[in-house]
């Protein structure tokens, strides 16, 4: 049993489509340069959907943007590497080479509430701009491919290409975003809060589409979200971020059932169930830290942690493998965190 798990873990390691190593992203503030992401280590195994969760300000969107090497000023990637299969280290790319990778190798889909389309041009015209930017010779083929993708996602492809942004609903915009991210056959799809600001039915539809497209196109997908429901719905793997650190990761079902970090447990505990007593949802006391309030030494979570010990104030826990295919950054005994999980 343990052996087979070990085996799959190693295979995943070998076949990572994206592997982030020791990534640190600094933002310039009044108090000097502060890390929004610190020493992040994560793999996106080929063909899997990884969920990246955390509260706002945890650095999850920053991590997603750094995969595109698109940290906006005054931020910068200060160290680490991001190896993408077939592309190399994204952090080393710049100018034209970087532009070519964006959209062609890596597809990025914006939050649905954000307007990711030029309001003055039809989707079709923007598709042609995309084709020209990436030197696509066969424009007809590109349009055909976009139409197919749109049809696959349950839209009228021809009509969508003829529409302006204001003529599309939130759910449709989101799907158009996915079409534009995939139309050049990107292998990696990054979705930033794909369901935020959508109504429940559109959320379900978009998740269904993500799952379907992911499978059909054989993608490697990263879903950034604060919604544990989304993660439990579609993710194969789960990574939890807090204060710019990845504090736990592993297979989604295992992490959700047996969280090994007190923060993960709190996140799960704070999610209200659709049926049953809402009192079972327990809010995490305290506020999520921002760049300036993250503790500089020790564990970033210790101020809100029910299990905090003396050592937590002194040494920052490393993200270490504690069970097959599972990692966590916590000084407490894994048994304690899991056991109290049910008691809370």
Partner 1 sequence: MKGLTRRLLVRLGTGLVMVWVVATFTFFLVHALPGNPGDAQYEQYLTQGMAPETARAKVAVIYGFTSHEPLLQQYTSYMWQLLQGNLGVSISYTGEPVVQVIRAALPWTLFPVLTGLVVSFLVGVTAGVVAAVRRSSRWGGLLSLSGSLVAGVPSFVLALLLAFLFHTLWQILPFGDTSDVTLEPGFNGPYIASVISHAVLPVATYALLSYGGWLLAMKSSVVSVLGDDFILASELRGITPLTRMRYIARNAILPLFTVLALSLGFMFGGSVLIEDIFDYPGLGNLLLKSIGARDYPLMGGAFLLITVAIVLANILAELLYSVIDPRVRR
Binding interface with partner 1 (CB under 8 A): 68, 70, 72, 99-104, 108, 110, 114-122, 126, 129-130, 132-134, 164, 166, 177, 180-181
Q: How far apart are CA 1 and CA 162, in angstroms?
A: 54
Q: Which is nearer to partner 1, 164 or 322 (CB)?
A: 164
Give the nearer residue to partner 1 in terms of CB position, either 111 or 337. 111
Helices and strands, counts by H and E, the chain = 13, 12
Tell me the closest approach of the beta carbon of residue 47 to partner 1, in angstroms.
23
Closest CA to 258 of 337, 143, 181, 343: 337
Give least dist CB 63 to partner 1, A: 15
User: In sequence order, which ranges of 296-333 are alpha helices (DSSP H)?
Assistant: 310-314
> Shortest distance, CB of residue 150 to partner 1, whole angstroms?
16
Supply the minimum distance, in Å, between the C-beta of residue 329 and partner 1. Answer: 30
* In the complex, minimum distance from the CB of residue 221 to partner 1, in angstroms, rounded to a whole number: 16
Residues in a beta bridge with 183: none
- Nearer of residues 107 and 298 to partner 1, judged by Cβ: 107
In whole angstroms, give the CA distance from residue 291 to residue 295.
Answer: 9
Minimum CB separation of residue 337 from partner 1 in Å reads: 37
Find the shortest distance in angstroms from Cβ 190 to partner 1: 9
23 vs 186 by CB, closer to partner 1: 186
Residues 316-340: b if buried by 16+ CB within 10 A, e if exposed: bbebeeeebbbbbbbbbebeebeee
Q: Tell me the two tokens of residue 169.
A: 């609903």
Compare residues 109 and 284 and give the one whose CB is closer to partner 1: 109
Q: Which is nearer to partner 1, 180 or 299 (CB)?
A: 180
Sign of the alpha-carbon dihedral angle for 337, 340, 341, 344: negative
Strand ranges (DSSP E) for the chain? 16-29, 32-45, 49-53, 75-84, 88-89, 106-109, 188-192, 220-225, 237-242, 245-251, 320-323, 326-328
Cα–Cα distance for residue pair 290/133, rounded to 1 Å: 37
The residue among 184 and 207 lying less far from partner 1, judged by its C-beta, is 184
Do you find a cis peptide bond into 133, omega within 30 degrees of 0? no
Query: Distance between CA 210 and CA 309 in Å, rounded?
Result: 42
| 249 in Cβ contact with 239 (< 8 Å) | yes
Kindly list the strands in the beta sheet with 237-242, ordered across the sheet, starting from the edge strand earlier in the chain.
106-109, 188-192, 220-225, 49-53, 237-242, 245-251, 326-328, 320-323
Task: Give the nearest distance from C-beta 28 to partner 1 in angstroms.
Answer: 13
Nearest alpha-carbon partner for 335 in 322, 344, 316, 324? 322
Between residues 96 and 296, which has the closer beta carbon with respect to partner 1?
96
Identity of the residue, 128 or 307, whose beta carbon is nearer to partner 1 in the bound complex: 128
| Smallest separation, CB 25 to partner 1 (Å) | 16
């Amino acid at each position: 049993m343990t052996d087979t798990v070990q085996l799959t873990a190693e295979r995943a390691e070998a076949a990572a489509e994206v592997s982030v190593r020791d990534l640190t992203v600094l933002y310039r503030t009044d108090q000097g340069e502060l890390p929004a992401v610190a020493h992040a280590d994560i793999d996106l195994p080929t063909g899997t959907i990884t969920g990246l969760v955390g509260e706002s300000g945890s650095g999850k969107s920053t991590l997603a943007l750094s995969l595109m090497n698109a940290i906006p000023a005054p931020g910068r990637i200060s160290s680490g590497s991001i190896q993408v299969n077939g592309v190399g280290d994204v952090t080393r790319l710049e100018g034209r080479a970087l532009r070519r990778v964006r959209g062609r190798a890596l597809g990025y889909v914006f939050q649905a509430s954000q307007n990711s389309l030029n309001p003055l041009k039809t989707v079709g015209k923007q598709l042609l701009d995309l084709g020209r930017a990436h030197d696509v010779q066969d424009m007809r083929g590109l349009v055909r491919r976009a139409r197919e993708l749109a049809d696959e996602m349950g839209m009228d492809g021809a009509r969508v290409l003829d529409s302006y942004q204001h003529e599309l609903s939130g759910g449709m915009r989101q799907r158009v975003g996915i079409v534009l991210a995939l139309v050049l056959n990107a292998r990696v799809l990054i979705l930033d809060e794909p369901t935020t600001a959508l109504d429940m039915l559109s959320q379900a539809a978009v998740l269904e589409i993500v799952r379907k497209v992911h499978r059909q196109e054989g993608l490697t997908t990263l879903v950034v979200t604060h919604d544990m429901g989304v993660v439990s719905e579609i993710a194969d793997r789960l990574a939890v971020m807090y204060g710019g650190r990845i504090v736990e990761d592993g297979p989604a079902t295992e992490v959700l059932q047996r969280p090994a970090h007190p923060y993960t447990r709190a996140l799960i505990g704070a999610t209200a169930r659709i049926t049953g007593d809402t009192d079972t949802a327990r809010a995490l006391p305290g506020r999520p830290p921002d760049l300036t309030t993250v503790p500089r030494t020790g564990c970033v979570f210790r101020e809100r942690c029910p299990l905090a010990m003396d050592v937590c104030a002194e040494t920052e826990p490393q993200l270490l493998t504690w069970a097959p295919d599972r990692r966590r950054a916590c000084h407490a005994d894994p048994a304690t965190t899991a056991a109290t999980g049910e008691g809370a």
